[in-house]
Structures are given as structure tokens and as C-alpha cells.
Structure 1
């Protein structure tokens, strides 16, 4: 990713985006700090070999039948050559377990998006963590001829507005995106472009196309990005290359999800997933009180067991 110059009050070089080697044999803790630092500084991070080629094939096979039936999206935001599959947690165990459930991805989300609160209940002081939750799931297939999206921030759904800062401040972010390549993702076939460092800009500042760089990926590679970064899908100017991308975003546990996980996925499929992923999908209280059903933790609806967090009501 070439370095360019941004104008955000004064001319400064755009920050470098780290490119790290991942893979099943690389310990998560060995990668974690490098990913965190890259996201703080540039807003993005590239990870080579994020998933194995066997997992890539499994994912592509799982979603192929859905793309056979997919129709063009009825939106000016999406080119007519785009096909998009949603509700992915209930459609592919490989996606749920090996993409969304990836340990490195989960740890990065916990670092940036966990909220903590100390509060009083009469004379008793309470401590309540709010864990990150799944915000949306999508698989994109971008065909030749697709036009480019306009640069945008994904945290606009939260009605957030931030002033400019000179360095990253914890608590500033509302989400993190993960894009995993199912095929080669190049500038020619429409790779995601983004503006490094734009997560630190004043949110009133408009994006500038000349500052964008491209997250080019091989199958199994991944690109992580803070949702406050300006980014967009690019034009597929190739003659015969389809770009296949697996996308997921995580968000704050107390913020409404972009994709309604309770309606997007069949409950019986959700029950088959590990409990930690059920909770990540939203079947969990954001402590102390957010998201209850019948004054109890919604995970009880899936497990049939009594709540582990009783006593708050």
C-alpha cells in the first residue's frame, strides 16, 4: 500500500497499514498486538493466510447454492452486478466457526469494543461489562462491470459524530469490519479501497478519492478495518473475474445491530452453535439490563437453563 498525503488541517503522510502473516500455526497472542497497533494508527490491517485453503473451499461450496438463486440488489448503493447473501450464521458452519468465531478476530473486538461501567445500587457498587456483539454478516459476489461505491463510514448507522484527534482514543470506535477473500481481490476486480488514518479525522470532513488505497487479497487473506474509516467497494473493470468476499462486522453490545440476528437466522441452527457464538450473536444481556426477555437472560431461551446473571431484576 503506497504512502500518500492527506490534508486534515495540515499536510501529513498517510499512515502505513501493517501486513502480517497469520495462519493456523501462528499463535494468536503473537499477532494480536500488531493488529491492534495497526488499527489504532491506520485504521486497517492486512492478514495473510487468515484462513486455510481448505476453509476457503468449504465456504465457497457452502454459499454456492445461495448464489445460484441470488438476484440483483434493489439499491442505488449496490451495483446491479453485485449479489449479496445475508443471515450467514445460519447458512454455513464454516463461516460461523472459522470466520466469525476466529479467535484473533474475537480478541480484537474485545479489545476495542468492550464497555465497562461502575454504578451504584443504593449503597452497593456494581460492575457491569458489555461485550461486543455481531453487527452484520454478508457474502458478496461482485461481477465484471460493477461500478464503484462512494466512500463512506460504516458507523453512520449509530448516528455517531467524532471530532478530529491526533492519535487513537479507546472508546472512539463503534465497530470493526472483517473481510475475508474467497477469490483473489485486486484493484482490477474491485478490491475494497479505504483511506488510512481517516478514523482519526473530524467526522464532518468529506472523503477524497485520491487518498484511497486498495486492500488486495489472495484467497484466505483478510482485511480488518475500524468502521470509522472511509472505505468502499471498487469497480470491477475485469473482463471475466468475479470477486467473492466474506464480510462480518462486530459492534458495541449496547447498540442496536445492523442485521437483526434474531430474524435473519433460524433458531434451530443457532442452537447448534457454541454458546459463546450464540451470545456474540446477541442472545446475551449487555449488563446490567439491556436485552432481557421476561426479565431474564435471552440465552435461556436457547439453552432451557436458568440464568447465570440473576439478581439484577
Structure 2
């Protein structure tokens, strides 16, 4: 049975479960009203998103990004206090953390289960087991069930030092109601499940965070037009990457704070002494 928490769970409790199990589920963290707004805002874009071009991303799976620009409701989930608290603790070994990607993953009927994999496998670089780069979330936008293709997890595999192969039978199913969220590490073996229904699409909002010094999977600066970025609050902009990613990483112009790129009134915000 998978480990689950109520919406009153603390960031420390969820973080501890992630360190021990590789994941944690928080039930009904946001109201259905937020999910309804999210669905209303993003579905026109989902409907226009083409399916994947290979088996891994899913030939009956649609992946819709640029959510900060397209959905104000998604910004609420990106900045959810529990999500940020868990991420801040889990990635606290780095100077800063940032948004890694935003995407709605829609599994259409007939989509087979994805190959079980780790997310933290960039360019074949062997990251140390004791250093985590990712804190991932999957928010249920529709019912996550074994039939619709709920996320598959192989608990505690984030502790395995070597590469392994797992099959669907080895995994547990992260069933969730809309408004619930799955936290999981970049090292745990997981996959999208098989949608075995005839007429139901499984929609999940994938929001991942990473340490501030790596390149983001989704380019937030190009995904969000500057004129929109200028209207967003500072804290969201920092999570998007408008901050230093570490000592002397990411400054602009004359050694200035990255926020000055979208804040004319902050043009004198220098980083040097």
C-alpha cells in the first residue's frame, strides 16, 4: 500500500517520506474549484496538442507545456505552499531551486504503460546517489485509477545505486482524486500507466523543480512572453529562474540581479560589492 497524507500534512512529513520511500501522496491538497479552472483554461491547448512521436513519450499521449503563460490556475499550483516547502527542504543542499518543467500529460484511451524509468538520467551523466537534483509533482486533474493510467511507482528504488529494469507487475498504482498530488524524486523508478478505458482521458499536471544550477527542461524565458513576465510577482519569477542559480550563475548585463531584466525600477540592483 502506498504512503498517503492528508492535506494538513507538513512539508517536513512529506519530505521525510520522499527520502525514505522515494515518493509521497497528499490527498485533496487543493479544492476541485482550482482543478476546474485549470481544466477550463488549459483544455483548448490540450485539444490542439499532437500525440508523441515515439513509444517512450507515448503515441497516444499528449504533452502540453507553457502553462505559466496559458493558465493562471497553474501558477497557483506551481506556487503551492506545501509544494514549495517540500521542494525547499528536499533540494536544500543547493543554493537555490527553480522550476524545471510544466506540462499537462494526457493519456488517451489505448495508451500502453510507459517504460519504467528514472527521470534523473540526463545526457548519461552518473549523478551521485546522495545528491538529488529533482523534486517532482504530479497533480491529478482527472481521476487517477488503475484503468485510466495512474502513475506507476516502484517504492524505495531511489536507493538503488545501479541501473535496473522493472516491469508493470513490479509497480504500485498511485490512484488519486482530482486535486491530489504525488511527490516523487528524480531517482525513483516510475512510469505512466496504461489507459485501458474506451472513452476516458487521464489528465495530470506535471510540475517539476530542480536545483538552480542546471538547465531547465522547459525554457521558461521563451515559454512565457516578456510582456507577461513583467506582470508576474517576484516570487513566481524567481521560481521560474529569474534569480541566481548559484554563486555568479545567471547574472545579466553589468553583474545585475536577473530580476532587473523584467523590472525597470530594479535596474540598480547590483550583485557585486
1:228 CA displacement: 0.7
How many equivalent pairs are there? Answer: 271
Normalising by structure 1, what TM-score?
0.82
* Contact 2:100-2:208 within 8 A present in 1 as well: yes
1:21 CA displacement: 0.8
Cα shift readout 1:261-307 (whole Å, capped 9, x = no counterpart): 11122122222222111011111112320012212222101111135
Question: What's the RMSD between the two structures over aligned residues?
Answer: 1.8
1:309 CA displacement: 5.1
Name the structure where strand makes up a greater proportion of residues: 1
Q: Which of the two has higher C-alpha Rg? A: 1
- 1:80-229 correspondence to structure 2 within 5 Å: 80-96=59-75, 98-115=76-93, 130-157=95-122, 159-161=124-126, 169=130, 172-229=131-188
1:79 CA displacement: 2.3
Match for residue 218 of structure 2 among 250, 259, 265: 259
Structure 1 runs, 4 residues or longer, greater than 4 Å off:
none
**Structure-2 separation of matches of 1:43 and 1:68:** 33
* Contact 1:191-1:233 within 8 A present in 2 as well: yes
Cα shift readout 1:213-260 (whole Å, capped 9, x = no counterpart): 111011111111011111110110112211011111000101111111
Where does the alignment leave 5 or more consecutive residues of structure 1 unmatched? 2-16, 117-129
Q: 1:155 to 1:180 in 2, by over 3 A?
A: same
1:308 CA displacement: 4.1
Cα shift readout 1:175-197 (whole Å, capped 9, x = no counterpart): 01111111101111111101110
**Structure-1 separation of matches of 2:155 and 2:31:** 27
**Structure-2 separation of matches of 1:261 and 1:158:** 20
Where does the alignment leave 5 or more consecutive residues of structure 2 unmatched? none
